[in-house]
Amino acid sequence: MDAEKRKQKLREMFQRVVDPLGYKFSPDEEIVDFLLEQEVMLEKEHGHPFCPCQGLTGDRELDMKIVCPCIPFHRAHFDAMKRCWCGLYVHKDVEDPYSLVQISRSEFEQMQKEGKV
Amino acid sequence: MKKIMMYTLSTCPWCKKSKNFFTERNIPFEFIDYDKASKEEQQKIREVCSAHGESIAFPFVIIGDDVVVGYNPQKYMKLLES
């Protein structure tokens, strides 16, 4: 399957997974296209469409938690940002993805401690 | 001027944006693409991330003694000005 077709296939598959979780593809089509392209490449190289913005460790258990869509493994963190880490997905009510900022894991944990999320 | 080091991924658009942020302002920085690094370098980067209580998420930007994980121009600017 060529890269374009695989990209389209992943898009269809991912849509079915993220929709019930309350997420949609980012309205920024350019970013979506770029990220899916990277995922097709990562799948070809490493066997799975890993998140293009998180690093592989070689530990299978950890690495499987960053296979796209990785929302279920980071649900509370991503919900707090209203986006996933790489920004491929945003909450369904988000119209401007650039209004959202990435919150690191340690910042998120601090917010949890302070009861802000 | 504060020293800037960035750990990035070649596949990450936010890492590219972070690099552009500093490039456009003529602010010198160093970077290592985690996915292109040797196993030893990757291990070191993971240790740095863990030491800061972070996951292996990029961009990981070190400005002086401070760390910003993620693309956050406001935070970069604030740290550069402080």
pTM over 0.90: yes
CA atoms in the 13 A half-sphere facing the CB of B5: 10
Which chain A residue lies closest to B37 (C-alpha atoms)? A55
Inter-chain contact B54–A86, Cβ cutoff 8 Å? Answer: no
Quick one: fold of B4-81? Glutaredoxin (3.40.30)
**Where in the sequence is the domain holding A81, given as residue range(s)?**
3-113
CA dihedral B33, A101, A98, A67 (to 10 degrees): 50
Q: Which residue has the tokens 């292109």?
A: B36
Residue type, B47: E
Task: Render pLDDT for A94-115 as a digit per residue (tens, 0 to 9).
Answer: 999 999 999 999 999 999 999 9
Task: Render pLDDT for A49-83 as a digit per residue (tens, 0 to 9).
Answer: 999 999 999 999 999 999 999 999 999 999 999 99
Q: Which residue has the tokens 């392209």?
A: A37
Helix boundaries (H) for chain B: 13-24, 39-51, 73-81
Q: Which residue has the tokens 């990435």?
A: A102
Interface of B with A (CB under 8 A): 9, 11-15, 34-35, 42, 45-46, 52-58, 68-72
